[in-house]
Amino acid sequence: MGMIIAVISGKGGVGKTTATANIGLGIAMYGRKCVVVDFDIGQRNLDMILGLENRVVYDLVQVMDGEASLKQALIKSKSNENLYFLAASQTKDKSVLVSSKIKKLVDELSLQFEYVILDAPAGIESGYEHTIEFADSAIIIVNPEVSSIRDSDRAIGILDSKSQKVKDGEEVDKYLIINRIIPEMVQSGDMLSSEDILEILNIKLLGKVAEDKGVVEASNQGTPIILNPKSLAGAAYKRIAARLCGDNIPIQEPTVHNKGLVGKLKGLFS
Amino acid sequence: MKSNQYSIKVFEATIEDENKFLAFIDANYELFKHHLLCLQGDIPQRVQQYLEKKSLKYINNFDFPKAKKIKDNFIMPHHEEQKCKESCKVISEPLRSGQYVEHAGDVVVAERINSGAKVVAKGNVIALNVVNGDISSMGDFILVGDTQKSNILFHGVKIDNTLLENRLNKIEFVDNEIVIKAISKKELTWV
């Protein structure tokens, strides 16, 4: 049985879908069979970020309703043969999700794949609750800002009370990714430090990803940033994927790059 | 002439607090059934209605010719003690945003109360870790650290966060006024 991981955040726009795409691809590049599922019914984005927009024929709602087989709906990634993708329905809304059908789909996926990654919708509504319902573990994406942290705190609270695993008396493993860190701002005290965030959320740290302008471009082109060997964010996602596959890699702190003479001088005196 | 001579028991009182008086009479009703009540001063209408309903005999503003004072074994009603019989609730998990804890007794929170979480207690609240959420207590005191982001209500009164010092603070009533005092670390050993 494969591991079912829900990627959640509470707040929208923190990089949940980008993280899902990159972690999925990272695990596939590591050599493990992985499927990424877009659970954001009615607002699908993952297909675009993976560059598979024009390949979507059937979606997960059709699979759940028996209108298409899982084999028909699974799309193989063009960048790695270990990665598959299952699209969300764009024309329906969250109300089509039913627990029993989700359980069946997720169970079927976990028989075929070592890692099943579910991209949750933003917010804490029914769509979110259904995404976390049958998850073994959750990756929580936060940005170093108070609103993101409060919303993810709320999402964790719901995870700890409404997931099936918790109802069965077990615990859902929770891993934190701090995304879009600007090291300069952390250094000057204008941005929450990772320590502060970890103290508030009180869960295990999976990785830190620095703000990277290349991410937007990568998303627009449908080639996840992890494929760019020069990108710092890409390297961070590579390490995160390896940690999920069991490697013991220490957390790397995003560092300040002093560019030019002024920066170097500032560095000397700070 | 036909006559009878009685020796009756009289309970003499002046009504200061209507509620307290009624509670007292109510608690000792069995005893007062056989007493004559002598009430000095004005009798409020509610008391009058109550006495008539219970058919208790009473007279108003009356001087007795020759009387000696005795003390009866009256029960004083103890409403204060009945207030908080609920057990103490201990929370050892962090309270996350959106979580709501309501309890009829005391609440001890050993972990963080995060922004957006809420604790409402009829009794005392003791928060031992960082508080960024809301606390409401109707008890005798609140114990809380230095929490500039919290929202603390003591008996419905909002506590000014700037008055909290960087140590454990005790918020309590002293002579009907809310007093906040810092507790030194030494006194904390009992926790």
A159-187 residue pLDDT tens: 999 999 999 999 999 999 999 999 999 99
Chain-chain contact of A153 with B112 (C-beta, under 8 angstroms): no
Within 8 A of B114 by CB-CB distance, chain A residues are 150, 153, 200
Per-residue pLDDT, B41: 85
Residue B132 has pLDDT above 50, yes or no: yes
Residue of A nearest to B132 (CA): A200
> Six-digit token pair at B134?
């809301």
A89 closest CA partner among A77, A81, A98, A97: A97
Residue A267 has pLDDT above 70, yes or no: no
Instruction: List, for residues A54-91, the tens digit of each pLDDT value.
Output: 999 999 999 999 999 999 999 999 999 999 999 999 88
Residue B137 has pLDDT above 70, yes or no: yes
Can you tell me the mean pLDDT for A140-148?
Answer: 96
Per-residue pLDDT, B81: 47
Distance CA A8, CA A10 (A): 6
The answer to whether B143 and B161 are in contact (CB under 8 A) is: no
Shortest CA gap A11–chain B (Å):
13
Mutation target to probe the A interface, by most A beta carbons within 10 A, among B95, B97, B113, B129 is B97
Can you tell me the mean pLDDT for B25-49?
Answer: 83
Compute the mean pLDDT over every residue in chain A, rounded to the nearest whole number. 93
Residue B17 has pLDDT above 50, yes or no: yes
Is some CB atom of chain A closer than 8 A to the CB atom of B151? no
Is some CB atom of chain B closer than 8 A to the CB atom of A160? yes
The answer to whether A202 and A173 are in contact (CB under 8 A) is: no
Chains A, B: CB contacts within 8 A come to: 32
Within 8 A of B96 by CB-CB distance, chain A residues are 153-154, 156-157, 160
Is some CB atom of chain B closer than 8 A to the CB atom of A47? no
Residue B191 has pLDDT above 50, yes or no: no
Give me the CATH topology for the region B83-190: Pectate Lyase C-like (2.160.20)
Number of domain units in chain A: 1
Q: Point out the least confidently predicted range of A39-48, A135-144, A229-238, B57-66.
A: B57-66
Distance CA B23, CA B32 (A): 13
Of residues A46 and A93, more confidence is placed in: A46
pTM for the structure as a whole: 0.75
Chain-chain contact of A200 with B97 (C-beta, under 8 angstroms): no
Q: CATH code at A237?
A: 3.40.50.300
In which domain, by residue range, is A116 found? 3-269
Residue B23 has pLDDT above 90, yes or no: no
Report DSSP letters for A25-62, one per residue.
HHHHHHT--EEEEE--TTS--HHHHTT-GGG--S-HHH
A10 closest CA partner among A117, A94, A123: A123
Is some CB atom of chain B closer than 8 A to the CB atom of A8? no
Sign (positive or negative) of CA dihedral A23, A27, A29, A34? negative
Is some CB atom of chain A closer than 8 A to the CB atom of B115? yes
> Six-digit token pair at A152?
């993810």
Q: Point out the least confidently predicted range of A128-132, B12-16, B78-82, B161-165.
A: B78-82
Shortest CA gap A150–chain B (Å):
6
Within 8 A of B98 by CB-CB distance, chain A residues are 124, 153-154, 157-158
Per-residue pLDDT, B72: 55
Q: Where are the domains of chain B?
A: 9-70, 83-190
Instruction: List, for residues A1-60, the tens digit of each pLDDT value.
Output: 899 999 999 999 999 999 999 999 999 999 999 999 999 999 999 999 999 999 999 999
Chain-chain contact of B96 with A156 (C-beta, under 8 angstroms): yes
Question: ipTM higher than 0.85?
Answer: no
Residue A266 has pLDDT above 60, yes or no: no
Distance CA B108, CA B114 (A): 15
Shortest CA gap B116–chain A (Å):
7
Compute the mean pLDDT over every residue in chain B, rounded to the nearest whole number. 83
Q: Point out the least confidently predicted range of A16-25, A163-172, A237-246, B9-18.
A: B9-18
Of residues A2 and B19, more confidence is placed in: A2
Within 8 A of A158 by CB-CB distance, chain B residues are 98
